[in-house]
Structure 1
Amino acid sequence: MTHPALQGWRPTLLDLLLSLAVVVAGLVESFGRQGPLPGQIDHPVPLAAGAVAAGALLLFRRRFPMTMLLLLTADGYAVRVVTDAGYYAAWHFYSTLILVHTVASAAELRSRRGLGGLVCVLTTYGYLQTFQHNDMAEVLISAIFMGVAYTSGILLRRQIDQTMRLTAHTTRLELEREERARWAVTEERNRIARELHDVISHNVSLMTLHTGGVRMLLGDDRARERDLLLGVERAGREAVEELRLMLGMLRGADGNGPEALQPSLDRLNDLVTQVGEAGLEVRLRIIGEPYPLPPGLDQSAYRVIQEALTNVLKHAHAAKAEVVIGYDRVELSVEVTDDGTGHPPGGGHGTGHGLIGMRERTAMYGGALVAGPVPGGGYRVSARFSPTGLSAAS
């Protein structure tokens, strides 16, 4: 049965490579230096077994770093006792440096676990100083290497912590950006719904009033027709009331009634005048013969031009702008071009809430919107509404 601490854990490829390197190096050292002379190994088998054990310990270095360091120290001491020799194996020192680095990278030094790791490192360093042939140079060399291994582990941990913080911060910013984009889409759709509410309520009210007028003009001998018209009139009033209940909540606190002037391309000259008073020279050009548009599409086209000109004033640093409206029986096109710096609508950093609103309005009528810098300088917003949206005007 797997120990709970090992469930879902497995050594990485780096762990396997380090373990294999220590085992192979230990075997080469143990049997390659076998001999009776000073500096050679009289008993290679215990030394080789110790190298294999050290390699196995490295497999668990990330899961139990302090435990593995202490067990490695015990492994080195056991080999020393069995062989009864003062020879210190190189594989043990390499393994010690690897585990010291791992212990330092496992926890913050100021934490309880970090202090425990430091105690384990000092214990291991103390063991290295028990060999009788160590001189001051050996003491300093081992201190330098272990200090570098420990410091590199601390630096690695801090780098990992910083990377994780930056990743979390980036993820949070991305979520906030998506939330702002969703909010902008919802807000724009609510705005469109309020305008549609006004248009539909106004037109249904007119239909109801006209139906009532026709009913009153009919004589008493047209009772059947009068009853039918009365039913239409009642249905119209009920429809207006339903619209008021369902969509009326979407109206702003300062929303105007149905009789208020609605945004329309017929009022585009007023918009151009207002923008001109704000300091932007606007040229209006109309291609084709204007014809009556469905109220919702008329409002959407007007709002696209209004939003584009507003963004030119706010962000483009432009002196001139041109508005081109193209009428034909296939599509309605709207184009706004400026001579500014070419910053995207909705802000200079590409958040694009203005673009979101314009795309929503254009897509609602089956059209498409393209926006981007113009070669040679400036920025262009181009919206085209599909034939479906124009069918009522034909």
Structure 2
Amino acid sequence: MLTRLLNGRRPTWPDLLLSLAVTVAGLVESYGRQGAGYGQIENPMTMAAGAIVSGVLLLFRRAFPMTALLMLTVLGFAMQRTTNPEYYAAWHFYSTLILLHSVASAAELRSRRGIAGLFCLLIAYGHLQTLRLVDIPEVLISAIFVGVAYTSGILLRRQMDRTARLAQHTTRLEMEREERARWAVAEERARIARELHDIVSHNVSLMTLHVGGVRRMLGDDRERERERTLLLGVEQAGREAVAELTLMLGMLRSLGDGDVPAPQPGLDRLDELIAQVREAGPRIEPRIIGTPTPLSSGLDLSAYRLIQEALTNVLKHARASNVDITIAYGPAELSILVINDGADPAVGDTARRPPEGGHGLIGMRERIEMHGGELSVGPIPGGHYRVFARFPLGDPVGVG
């Protein structure tokens, strides 16, 4: 219960020191001036008990400053009735000044708590004027001390608010600086990835194409079978290296240190793609010929992107109602055929149009040629449109 009331404003070490100082000073004053007569304390035990209560009230000056000040004022009235009415304890005056400072620093003066604190100040100051033997100099002196204590609390409050605002501003600037640094790192990583991809992938692709050219120049001479086999292995290794390089450099392009690039799609996710396109209207009939065999990640991705681009063009440019997709696996090659019945003569050859967003058929042609394959697109008799791609794996296989 008390913990909830304190609400994180528990007594601190300065509060403990102030409480101890006032309590000890009150005890010294109570028993040091024990006696009868003017300026003496006739009942030191009562005065000492009041000093102890005053010290306890100071422990809660942060949590309940106005309550503590009002209770201290009531305690002052009680001391006047039970001890020498002509004697005013110094510890009570010290405690009043400390609590006035706490009340002023607890809330802004223009708030409700600030106005309530100002009324508490007037009550405490009014109590000082009820003491006996109070003359004009005493009124002015007490007004000066009370005013200084209250004003110092207001200034402390404003300084605390200014410090909090500066801390928030500094934190915000630090967060923005870290965010800019992260973006700078991400941009640098993306730039490095682009440069590496442009340089390394281009050179490896060029070497792969040259090796493929040399292999074809060897012809079908059986005496060169071993050389053709070795060159074919170099080709395949080069294509796989380019594909893996593209995937690895994609990690450099990912934004943020904790981001993980999403896995690249392949033909195993073709059903998801077809389901999405079917929602737009056309009827799609997929067909698989042969036994699906494991493909390299780069070739698998290229085959998926080809079908994705063909279906995208169906939605964008053709008024097709039926789309046939045929995927043929063979020991020599992977063949993909996409035919739709919505060819529009006004559209023309899609492959000759500029690629849209970097994923057009021209980009697909380059991707397929990187694997040593070929792409053919265009209208066919019957008002249909045909996209055909062949990826070499070995001996050719036909798809109709």
Q: TM-score range by the shorter chain?
A: 0.5 to 0.7
Instruction: Write out per-residue CA displacement over residues 37-69 of structure 1, whole angstroms, 9 at most, x where no aligned residue.
Output: 222222221111111110111111111111111
1:232 Cα shift? Answer: 3.2
Residues 106, 157 of structure 1: 8 Å contact kept: yes
**Structure whose alpha-carbon radius of gyration is higher:** 2
Alignment of 1:60 with 2:22, yes or no, is no
Are residues 39 and 13 of structure 1, via their aligned partners in 2, closer, same or farther at CA, if it must alter by over 3 Å?
A: same
Aligned to 2:152: 152
Instruction: Write out per-residue CA displacement over residues 144-197 of structure 1, whole angstroms, 9 at most, x where no aligned residue.
Output: 110000001111111111122122222222222222222112111111110000
Are residues 246 and 146 of structure 1, via their aligned partners in 2, closer, same or farther at CA, if it must alter by over 3 Å?
A: same
Aligned to 1:362: none
CA–CA separation in structure 2 for the residues paired with 1:86 and 1:38: 7
1:250 Cα shift? Answer: 8.7
Question: What letter is aligned with 1:79?
Answer: M
TM-score (norm 2): 0.58
Alignment of 1:41 with 2:41, yes or no, is yes
1:133 Cα shift? Answer: 2.0
Q: Secondary structure at the match of 2:34?
A: coil
Aligned to 1:324: none
CA–CA separation in structure 1 for the residues paired with 2:52 and 2:94: 13
Residues 194, 250 of structure 1: 8 Å contact kept: no
Residues 50, 79 of structure 2: 8 Å contact kept: yes
1:231 Cα shift? Answer: 4.3
Residues 216-235 of structure 1: pairs in structure 2 closer than 5 A: 216-219=216-219, 220-221=221-222, 222-235=224-237
Aligned to 1:172: 172
Aligned to 2:79: 79
Question: What letter is aligned with 2:131?
Answer: F
Instruction: Write out per-residue CA displacement over residues 349-374 of structure 1, whole angstroms, 9 at most, x where no aligned residue.
Output: xxxxxxxxxxxxxxxxxxxxxxxxxx
CA–CA separation in structure 2 for the residues paired with 1:112 and 1:88: 32
Q: Secondary structure at the match of 1:27?
A: helix
Residues 26, 51 of structure 2: 8 Å contact kept: yes
Instruction: Write out per-residue CA displacement over residues 58-116 of structure 1, whole angstroms, 9 at most, x where no aligned residue.
Output: 11111111111111111111111222623211110111001001111111111111111
1:132 Cα shift? Answer: 3.4
Question: What letter is aligned with 2:122?
Answer: L
CA–CA separation in structure 2 for the residues paired with 1:245 and 1:41: 91
Q: Secondary structure at the match of 1:131?
A: coil
Count of matched residue pairs: 251
CA–CA separation in structure 1 for the residues paired with 2:17 and 2:250: 69
Q: Secondary structure at the match of 1:236?
A: helix
> Gaps spanning 5+ residues in structure 1: where?
252-394
Question: What letter is aligned with 1:47?
Answer: M
Residues 9, 62 of structure 2: 8 Å contact kept: no
CA–CA separation in structure 2 for the residues paired with 1:124 and 1:146: 9
Are residues 239 and 92 of structure 1, via their aligned partners in 2, closer, same or farther at CA, if it must alter by over 3 Å?
A: same
Q: 1:236 aligns with which of 215, 238, 248?
A: 238
1:237 Cα shift? Answer: 3.8
Question: What letter is aligned with 1:230?
Answer: L
CA–CA separation in structure 2 for the residues paired with 1:90 and 1:166: 39
CA–CA separation in structure 1 for the residues paired with 2:180 and 2:49: 63
Are residues 63 and 2 of structure 1, via their aligned partners in 2, closer, same or farther at CA, if it must alter by over 3 Å?
A: closer
CA–CA separation in structure 2 for the residues paired with 1:240 and 1:22: 81
Are residues 94 and 206 of structure 1, via their aligned partners in 2, closer, same or farther at CA, if it must alter by over 3 Å?
A: same
Residues 27, 48 of structure 1: 8 Å contact kept: yes
Question: What letter is aligned with 2:234?
Answer: V
Residues 194, 248 of structure 1: 8 Å contact kept: no
Question: What letter is aligned with 1:45?
Answer: M
Residues 363-378 of structure 1: pairs in structure 2 closer than 5 A: none
Q: Percent identity?
A: 72
Are residues 81 and 235 of structure 1, via their aligned partners in 2, closer, same or farther at CA, if it must alter by over 3 Å?
A: same
